[in-house]
Structure 1
Amino acid sequence: MRTMPDGSQRPVKFDGVQGEYVIDRKFRVVNRPRARAQLLRQSEALAHNRAIGTWEVPNEAERIAALKLFKEMKITNIKVRVVKP
């Protein structure tokens, strides 16, 4: 859940939990407004709940794209790893 400016709570979707990490599987990393907004929502929810997220991507090229996006947006509470689909 994340807290909105008016104090209400809204859910943020992830694909699962593995140990201490909240997992979100991505087949493709895109740098578009909706994807950036989702990334911010996920990061805010993780920070609010003092959790760490992991994006699972299918190959090294997508991992590099995710790392570039995280750096650009100053996201530090989401990690990325390659997992074969």
Structure 2
Amino acid sequence: MAADRLGVPPQACLVVEDAPAGVEAAATAGCRVVGLTTTHPATALHQAHLHATSLSEVRHHLTAAGVPAAAHTPHGR
């Protein structure tokens, strides 16, 4: 799993996923999951902790939660 390669516990990871299988895998691994409803409805991504309609909405949620902007991109880049 990517969290292992990064040396981060799954509970500290946020996965943004638009496929039901990806949402299920991330949730099963113990990650927090945002279901991106661009290709499937929220009902198909039912294991996600939160749903968003776009990556802009994901950024809005991250900013509102106090996550620094540098952390909004993969690996903080």
The two structures have a TM-score, normalised by structure 2, of 0.36
Higher helix share: 2
Larger relative CO (CA 8 A, sep 6+): 1 or 2? 1
